[in-house]
Every structure is written in structure tokens, then in C-alpha cells.
Amino acid sequence: MSKWKHSLHISKYESDPDYFDKYYGNKIIYLTFICCYNVMHEIGHVLCREYNYKFDKNLAHNDALNQFHEELLVNDFAAAYWHKFGQKEFLDKILMYVNKFIDKSEVQYGWDNLTKKLFKINYENYKIVYSSYASLSFLTKQLVFSRDDNYSKHYDNFQNFSIKESLYKNIDLNILLKEIGINNFCSFKDCNRLNYDYNINTPKEVISDVTKIFLGHGIQISPIEYYLENDKGCNYMCSEPIKDK
């Protein structure tokens, strides 16, 4: 396995409380979602790099499509991890936030065409399913190759719809680890639930816990450092790995 140095960049609430309150509702939701839940999304990316995940080797030239597929996969991974290790109230809070975001985006923007095309929305059981490889390919082209003024709006919709879908799908963590490319590990069965206070130290605790837990199951993660940034657009959220020479 290659050795990596990973860094996570997390936007600091204090850099623009009004902006974050408007976006997330309040500081607690921001801390719960960004400093706790989402850290596992980023660790999903970390594992994809470490274990050389490729969505489809034949499509390796199409980095954009691989990138979007990886986003769906790491959302599934984060949801699976928190279904196994999170408290019920924690998962309820996350679901409440994404539902609120989606409701608000429906009101503010209408269901924009890209989101409609990507997700089949079943209003009866309020479930969403990303519809197909073709839709993913379509969305990728629209998003990546024609970055318009609405890019961040589409991208936020994409992420929040995907997270909601991942939470409902609740795929088993063991299956997702194999999908990422990790084959030799002790299977995760019943696990103790983790609890956090949700403050600026939470990312550090989440990283430390997952590193220990995974190591106990035979999965090694290279060291991950995290930085709190003045970055309200979350432009640097995703993990930036550097390969150790």
C-alpha cells in the first residue's frame, strides 16, 4: 500500500457566522454536519486514494465522471459508518438538516433540471434514488464542462440529495469497504456507538476514533491532519493527499 499524507481543510464557523447560520440553520447543525458527519465523507476520499479506488478503469481518462461517482460512493460510506457508530439522535439531526436543505432548495430554486435528471424523486415515500449511470454522466458533463454561475448551487444540490439517498439506502459498511478496494479486514459487526460534543475539536476526535477502530479491524489509514480555514465556500473541503516519496 502506498504511503500518503492527508490534509482536511474545514471551514471555520467564526470566519462568517451569519453565512453559516443562513446556510445550516445554526451553529450546532454546522458543527454536527461539517465537523462530525462530513469528516467521514472526507475520510472516504482518503481511503479511495490509499486503496487506489477507480470507478471504472476503462473510463479512467474521464476524470470528471470518476470524481462524481466517487462522491456518491463516499457519501454511501459516510452514511454506513454513522449508521454503525453514530447515535440515533445524531443521525436524526443530519437527516433533518438535509431534508431542510432540500425543501428550501425546492422553494428557492425549484427542482432544477440537472437535479431532476440526476435523481428520481418519489414523493409518496419521500425517497430519492439517483437514477442511472447515464444521468450521472449527463450531470457530470453539465457541471464540469459548463461551469456556469449556478455551479455551486447544482453542486450543493447534488451533495445533499446524494447524502439523503445514502442515509436511506444504509448499505452495510463491510460492503462499501470492499467497493473502495479494501479486501483484507475483520468484518464489522455490532459496534459501540460514539458520542461527541460537537465543537471545533470534534474533527480531531472523529479522525482519531476512526483511525483506531479501523486499525483494530486491520485497516490502516495514513496520518490525517486537519486545518480550520477561513473558507466559507468550503472550496478546500475535500482531502488533498500528497504521496510520500
Binding positions for Zn ion, rule: CB under 5 A: 71, 238
Measured N-to-C along each axis, helices 202-216 and 38-50 cross at an angle, to the nearest 10 degrees, of 50
Neighbours of 99 (CB within 10 A): 14
Closest CB to Zn ion among residues 73, 128: 73
* Residue placing its CB nearer to Zn ion in the complex, 136 or 187: 136
| CA–CA gap between residue 201 and residue 192 (Å, rounded) | 21
- CB of residue 131 vs Zn ion: minimum separation in angstroms? 20
Tell the smallest beta-carbon distance from residue 110 to Zn ion (Å).
25
> What whole-number distance in Å separates Cα of residue 9 and Cα of residue 75?
18
CB of 48 or CB of 102, closer to Zn ion = 48
Q: Taking the complex as a whole, how short is the minimal distance between the CB of residue 41 and Zn ion, in angstroms? A: 6
Q: In Å, how far are 6, 62, 94, 196, 197 from 31, measured between CA atoms?
A: 21, 34, 11, 10, 9
Contact 210, 222 (CB under 8 A): no
Which C-beta is closer to Zn ion: that of 43 or that of 128?
Answer: 43
Grid coordinates representing 184 are 483484507
Q: How far is the CB of 238 from Zn ion (least distance, A)?
A: 5
